[in-house]
Each structure stands twice: as structure tokens, then as C-alpha cells.
């Protein structure tokens, strides 16, 4: 309907038409999360033809702010609109299909602000507020924001927290202090889970709280003295004289030893960073700079590969900040050229593989709650990350097998690190006719019963991402 038009039967419009639901898509579409259903909210500026997307959902859409484009697809059929809301509406989806990580997360500047607010507990000598019963009574004073962020605040119940931690919890909409950890990228999923549970797993309340949190974090970081800025001289100083002397001794014939030396020097440089600098805070919070990016930018590029993907024994001792010599430039060029070629050649292949897998696995779906088999996979849990991929699976302790299959939670999963565990799997399900029971699949709830399609998408999504990162 064009601007200014009026519908005759406005009162008879269905709830689905009034919601202005539409699909948003950002290419390449690698999985279901690349094309979610969203609610369109018109802006006041009729000349604005830009699609505005919440920063909370940039990651599942694989978007950033460097000129990415997206498309909007309007659905007019009422039956299709109803199905869209039930199966594809973003507000009805909380976690990724492949794990328990939350789709909506704060990142970049908002994550940096959260780190600043929570990085220090409190200064014991300076209690500025006494007997604060509710966080809603916490004053939002700009002087406190800039000068007394880590002053102590005493609650009426007796607990003492920093003003920054109290402010962060207030931004979350909490009545009392719930989150006391220093916020960084590694625990941001835990923060989302805490907010979700606080609002009794109500999707609307959770998303509203997360949206308000992000807005307040952006407001805080843009109106205080904590706005991040990069000091080029500070980054250049990461390579001190000792580091330079050792770098000059990097071996040309022992690549393994060279990697160990670079790793040790990177650790040394990071340990010697000024904790009050923006560079350190950006890195420590996880909002910017991975370890590898920091090393290549300010310490050393290290070893590169040739056109045949073989590591060149001569390391590039300069960093990107220092710049490359002519010789170093031409040593890096073959790997860069190969990366461009691989992206154009292999990306279509991974796309074709996805279509093949999805079509061949489309008949695999949920059936029974439990096929009652004791078939399983047994393996050693290798790390904390490995353990988290098993959360929601049904497991049995090898020492108590066979016994009742129980749902695996995060705490129990971590207790099996470096230990054997027996896990139910779709690979060992005995359901007939290409169907999988819930216990063999795991407790993960999907918006579709066609788990084969989801599996095909997840396998090839990772493959395509790795292809694009060459």
C-alpha cells in the first residue's frame, strides 16, 4: 500500500497484516538465520530509503557497517504471513540452531562500554550511596559516570558493589544486582542467558531489555570520558628494544621454532600493555582486535605462504603499522592472490554442495520422543568449548552404563573435560524411515521438524565461511 492510501476495511485487517512482517536477507545466505522474518517499523523520514538493522542481530545476518546491502521481501498471503510468524519470526528465535548461543548479543562499542562499567569491583574507602533498596533509585549523574565509576555503593541488604556494576545492572532492567562479573566477549553469551532467565524466558521482555541495554551502553560510551580511541604511538611501542633484538634472530630454517618465538613475544607485549589505555581495553573486552590481529598490526606479520600454500621459511618481521618493504610486499602477494582466486572458485562449489545436501537430507524429520535405544557415541571431551557443544544432548556416565539417559547441562558438561562420556546421537537412532527421535537428537528445540534440512545448512555454512576466510 502506497503512502497516503487508505484501506476500506481497515477494521477487518488481520493481526498479521498489521504487524508489517517481512523477510530480510543478506547475501550470501548460508543458513536459516540469513533470512529471518522481521517486523518493519517505518521511519518518520519518507525520503529515507535505507534499511536500518539493530546492531544486536548483525552477527547472525553476517553483516557489518562497511556498506553491506540487504533486501526486503514482502509477503501478502495471510496464510503465508501466519506461517512466517510461527516459523521464521526473529522474536520467536532465541538461540542458533547448532548450539545454545544466543542470537542477539551486544558487541563492539556496546561491549566495550559493558567492560568499562564492570571491570573493577569497587573502591572500599569511598562509599557514596548508603542503603540503596532498589537499583531504580540509583542516580544517573554524569559526574558519577566520569569521576566515580568505581566508587562503592552499599545496598540496603548489605552487599557492596561498584557504581559501574550497579549502573550496568540497572541498564539491564534489574531490580537488584544480578551480574557481578567483568563483562567481556568470552562471557557475553552467559550475560544474555542471565537476562533471558531473569525475565522468565519471555521472548518479548528479553528482547526489549536487551535493546534498552544496548541503547544505554551506546549512550554511556558516547557521553563520557571513556570513549575509545587508538593511539598509534602506543601500539608502536608494543615492540620494545628487547623484542626487536629477538625478532632479528628469528630462524629462517626452523618454522616451528619461529612460531614459538612469535607466540612468546606476543604474550610479552600483551602483558606489558598499559591497562588504562584504550588499546588494552578494546583487546581485553573482545570488542576489537583478536590476538592474531593485534600481533599482525603492531608486532609482526610472521610467516606467510606462497601460491602453493607452502609456508615461506623467511618470516616477515615488520608489522602492518611499520609497513612493508618491497621484498616483503612481494612475499605476501602470492598468498593474497591465491585467497582472491579461491574465493571466486570454491564459493560456488560450497553453494552447490549445500543444495545437494539439503535435497538429499530433506526427508529426515522428528518422529517419536524416544526410540528407547541404548546405541550411542563414546568419546573424550577435549575442552570447555567442546563441552559446550554437547549441552542439551542426552548422556550416560560410562561407569553407570546402561542407566537412565539424562539431559546434559553446562555445568555437568564441563565436569567431563578430559573424561569419557556416552552420548545419544542421530547417527545411532533406530527410528525407521529416515526419522529421528527427540532423545537421539537432543533437547534443542527447532522451529521445524525437518532436521535434515537444518543439518545440511549448518554443515555447509561452516564450510563456506572457511572458504571465504582463506
pLDDT for the residue numbered 250: 66
Domain boundaries, the chain: 10-92, 108-223, 232-323, 365-449
Sheet containing strand 71-74, edge to edge, reads 37-39, 21-25, 71-74
At residue 6, the 3 state secondary structure works out as coil
Distance CA 268, CA 256 (A): 19
Report the Cα 342 to chain-centroid distance in Å.
Answer: 26
Contact 85, 22 (CB under 8 A): no
pLDDT for the residue numbered 241: 55
Those residues of the chain that have pLDDT short of 50 are: 1-12
Pick the CATH number of 10-92 from 2.40.40.20, 3.90.470.20, 3.40.1190.20, 1.10.275.10: 2.40.40.20
pLDDT for the residue numbered 246: 65
- Give every CB contact of residue 363 below 8 A, 6+ residues apart in sequence: 434, 452
Distance CA 296, CA 328 (A): 14
Distance CA 323, CA 297 (A): 10
> For residue 391, which of 103, 194, 96 has the smallest C-alpha distance?
96
- Give every CB contact of residue 12 below 8 A, 6+ residues apart in sequence: none
Supply the pTM of this predicted model. Answer: 0.76
Distance CA 84, CA 93 (A): 12
Longest dimension (CA), the chain: 81
- Could you tell me the sign of the dihedral formed by the alpha carbons of 279, 284, 288, 292, in that order? positive
Amino acid at each position: 500500500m502506497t503512502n497516503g492510501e487508505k484501506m476500506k476495511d481497515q477494521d477487518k485487517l488481520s493481526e498479521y497484516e498489521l504487524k508489517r512482517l517481512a523477510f530480510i536477507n543478506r547475501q550470501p545466505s548460508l543458513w536459516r538465520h540469513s533470512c529471518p522474518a522481521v517486523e518493519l517499523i517505518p521511519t518518520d523520514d519518507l525520503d529515507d530509503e535505507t534499511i536500518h538493522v539493530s546492531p544486536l542481530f548483525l552477527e547472525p545476518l553476517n553483516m557489518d557497517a562497511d556498506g553491506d546491502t540487504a533486501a526486503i521481501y514482502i509477503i501478502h498471503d495471510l496464510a503465508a504471513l501466519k506461517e512466517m510468524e510461527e516459523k521464521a519470526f526473529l522474536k520467536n528465535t532465541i538461540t542458533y540452531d547448532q548450539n545454545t548461543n544466543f542470537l542477539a548479543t551486544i558487541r563492539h562499542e556496546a561491549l566495550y562500554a559493558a567492560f568499562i562499567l564492570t571491570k573493577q569491583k569497587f573502591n572500599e574507602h569511598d562509599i557514596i550511596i548508603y542503603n540503596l533498596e532498589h537499583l531504580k533509585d540509583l542516580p544517573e549523574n554524569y559526574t558519577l559516570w566520569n569521576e566515580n565509576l568505581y566508587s562503592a555503593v552499599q545496598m540496603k541488604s548489605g552487599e557492596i558493589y561498584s557504581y559501574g556494576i550497579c549502573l550496568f545492572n540497572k541498564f539491564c532492567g534489574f531490580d537488584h544486582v544480578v551480574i557481578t562479573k567483568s563483562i567481556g566477549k568470552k562471557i557475553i553469551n552467559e550475560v544474555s542467558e542471565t537476562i533471558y532467565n531473569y525475565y522468565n524466558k519471555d521472548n518479548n521482555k528479553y528482547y526489549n531489555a536487551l535493546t534498552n541495554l544496548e541503547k544505554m551502553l551506546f549512550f554511556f560510551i558516547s557521553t563520557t570520558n571513556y570513549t575509545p580511541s587508538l593511539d598509534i604511538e602506543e601500539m608502536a611501542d608494543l615492540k620494545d628494544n628487547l623484542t626487536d633484538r629477538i625478532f632479528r634472530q628469528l630462524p629462517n630454517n626452523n618454522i616451528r621454532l619461529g612460531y614459538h618465538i612469535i607466540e612468546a613475544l606476543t604474550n610479552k607485549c600483551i602483558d606489558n600493555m598499559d591497562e588504562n589505555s584504550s588499546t588494552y581495553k578494546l583487546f581485553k573486552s573482545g570488542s576489537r582486535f583478536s590476538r592474531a590481529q593485534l600481533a599482525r598490526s603492531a608486532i609482526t606479520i610472521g610467516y606467510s605462504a606462497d601460491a602453493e600454500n607452502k609456508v615461506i621459511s623467511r618470516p616477515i618481521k615488520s608489522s602492518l603499522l611499520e609497513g612493508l618493504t618491497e621484498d616483503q610486499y612481494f612475499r605476501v602477494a602470492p598468498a593474497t592472490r591465491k585467497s582472491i582466486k579461491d574465493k571466486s572458485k570454491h564459493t560456488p562449489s560450497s553453494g552447490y554442495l549445500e543444495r545437494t545436501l539439503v535435497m538429499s537430507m530433506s526427508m529426515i524429520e522428528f518422529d517419536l520422543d524416544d526410540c528407547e535405544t541404548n546405541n550411542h557415541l563414546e568419546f573424550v571431551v577435549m575442552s570447555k568449548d567442546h563441552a559446550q557443544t554437547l549441552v542439551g544432548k542426552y548422556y550416560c556416565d560410562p561407569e553407570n552404563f546402561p542407566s537412565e539417559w539424562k539431559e546434559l547441562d553446562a555445568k555437568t558438561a564441563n565436569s567431563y573435560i578430559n573424561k569419557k562420556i556416552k552420548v545419544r546421537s542421530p547417527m545411532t537412532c533406530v527410528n525407521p524411515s529416515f526419522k529421528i527421535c527427540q532423545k537421539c537428537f537432543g533437547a534443542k528445540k527447532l522451529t521445524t521438524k525437518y532436521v535434515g534440512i537444518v543439518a545440511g545448512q549448518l554443515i555447509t555454512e561452516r564450510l563456506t565461511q572457511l572458504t571465504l576466510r582463506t
